[in-house]
Structure 1
Amino acid sequence: MPKIEAGSVREHRAQRLTRLIDAAEALLSEGGVESLTAGAVAARAGIARNSIYRYFDSIEDLLELVVTREFPAWIDAVAQAVAAAATPEEKAVAYVRANLEQAARGTHGWRASLSRTSLSPSTRERVRALHTTLHEALAQVVRELGHPQPELTVAVLQAVVDGCIRRIDQGDALTTVSDFAAGATRRLLAHDRP
């Protein structure tokens, strides 16, 4: 049995996978997708090249792990913000603000760019499914509000979020963008009320 570097095999595997994803992120930020090879990732992570395929099947799989790495924490942060709000309108505002706060953490822009340009269609579909899971929180809030056109309302609110995330990715201040988006959300919901 190979020597493990943690208290259990499971912890060891989790630590190794984290090192591999960290290495891939570093390579991507330094040299783009072209720099992401099995040998380069293994060398950066300090792991034997033939060992890295115990953690993923291909570089494409590693790219997916990099792109989706922050989704669980992002989805959880949004869900917590929505759950903490008192009214359906404030839940919608919390959804918008929480998404913008997550985007402002600094890695969304390059992950989104990587997702658009470097992933296979099947991997893009899996990433899209994660976004759909996130959007369901907003759809639930809009249903609670009883809007006559819930799908259109969700689409417009999500467009506000997406547009504001692009502004944050371009360097606009979170507070300014978040306040604008919250105001736009409140106005849209007030206008659309049955």
Structure 2
Amino acid sequence: MPKIEAGSVREHRAQRLAKLIDAAEAILNEGGVEKLTAGAVAARAGIARNSIYRYFDSIEDLLELVVTREFPAWIDAVERAIAAETTPEEKAAAYVRANIEQAARGTHGWRASLSRTSLSPSTRERVRNLHTSLHKALAEVVGELGLPQPELTVAVLQAVVDGCIRRIDQGDEPATVADFAAGATRRLLADDHH
């Protein structure tokens, strides 16, 4: 039997898993969570049904992978946007804009509704922790402003992000929403300084 290098076994597994997550996303996009079964995912991915459980333990685990898949890239994009700015006000505006732009990249709506409805408590907790790392980045920026009520400022800016993302999920034009939110952030922080 030919010897397989560890790297290529790992690569093969990663490719297979990506294929299964892609298949699950496509099914969720088309039919929602009711249509997400092991058989449907295996058929869509072109992988034998009995071998898909080598990659995850349950459909629940696969759902977690789908929901959390974009988080590392999302967090990275937000952190890069903040780092590109020099003043705390512009960093805060960049945080707001980058989150809205990431959400607008297409799949946030059904991911968010999935997060609310179909995930186990432990998965929801992991999703919350991923969100927490984003909020920490915002808290650091707000800390630089030296405002009298930093926690309240973070909560209000996060509410702006959440409200704007909901508008995009409902069909508003992402660029318009992002511009509005960044402008609102600048005005809010400018008012706080007086």
Superposition TM-score tier, normalisation by shorter sequence: over 0.9
| 1:125 aligned onto 2:125 | yes
Q: For residue 170 of structure 1, what is the amino acid of its counterpart?
A: Q
Q: Take 2:183 and 2:34, find their aligned partners in 1: how far apart are those partners? A: 42
Q: 1:97 is matched with which residue?
A: 97
Q: Which moved more, 1:168-177 or 1:69-78?
A: 168-177
C-alpha deviation, 1:48, in angstroms:
1.5
Residues 89-137 of structure 1: per-residue CA shift (max 9 Å, x gap): 1000000111111111111111111111111121111101100111111
C-alpha deviation, 1:3, in angstroms:
9.9
Q: 1:135 is matched with which residue?
A: 135
C-alpha deviation, 1:193, in angstroms:
2.6
DSSP 3-state at the match of 2:164: helix
When normalised by structure 2's length, the TM-score is 0.94
Note the aligned Cα RMSD (angstroms): 1.8
Aligned residue pairs total 193
Q: Take 2:31 and 2:160, find their aligned partners in 1: how far apart are those partners? A: 32
Q: Take 1:166 and 1:38, find their aligned partners in 2: how far apart are those partners? A: 31
Change (3 A) 1:146 1:19: same
> Which stretches in structure 2 are left out of the alignment for 5+ residues?
none
Q: 1:65 is matched with which residue?
A: 65
DSSP 3-state at the match of 1:148: coil
Q: 1:8 is matched with which residue?
A: 8
Q: Take 1:2 and 1:41, find their aligned partners in 2: how far apart are those partners? A: 30
Q: Take 1:156 and 1:78, find their aligned partners in 2: how far apart are those partners? A: 18
C-alpha deviation, 1:175, in angstroms:
2.0
Q: 2:145 is matched with which residue?
A: 145
Q: Take 2:2 and 2:69, find their aligned partners in 1: how far apart are those partners? A: 27
**Greater relative contact order structure (CA < 8 Å, 6+ sep):** 2
1:10-49 counterparts in 2 under 5 A? 10-49=10-49
Q: For residue 115 of structure 1, what is the amino acid of its counterpart?
A: S
> Share of identical aligned residues, percent?
87
Q: Take 1:41 and 1:162, find their aligned partners in 2: how far apart are those partners? A: 31
C-alpha deviation, 1:2, in angstroms:
9.6
Q: Take 1:48 and 1:133, find their aligned partners in 2: how far apart are those partners? A: 37
Q: Take 2:48 and 2:176, find their aligned partners in 1: how far apart are those partners? A: 47
Residues 139-173 of structure 1: per-residue CA shift (max 9 Å, x gap): 00000111111111000000000000111111111
Q: 2:167 is matched with which residue?
A: 167
Q: Take 1:26 and 1:175, find their aligned partners in 2: how far apart are those partners? A: 26
Q: Take 1:178 and 1:29, find their aligned partners in 2: how far apart are those partners? A: 24
Change (3 A) 1:2 1:100: farther
DSSP 3-state at the match of 2:56: coil
> Which stretches in structure 1 are left out of the alignment for 5+ residues?
none
DSSP 3-state at the match of 1:152: helix
C-alpha deviation, 1:180, in angstroms:
1.2
When normalised by structure 1's length, the TM-score is 0.94
Q: For residue 193 of structure 1, what is the amino acid of its counterpart?
A: H
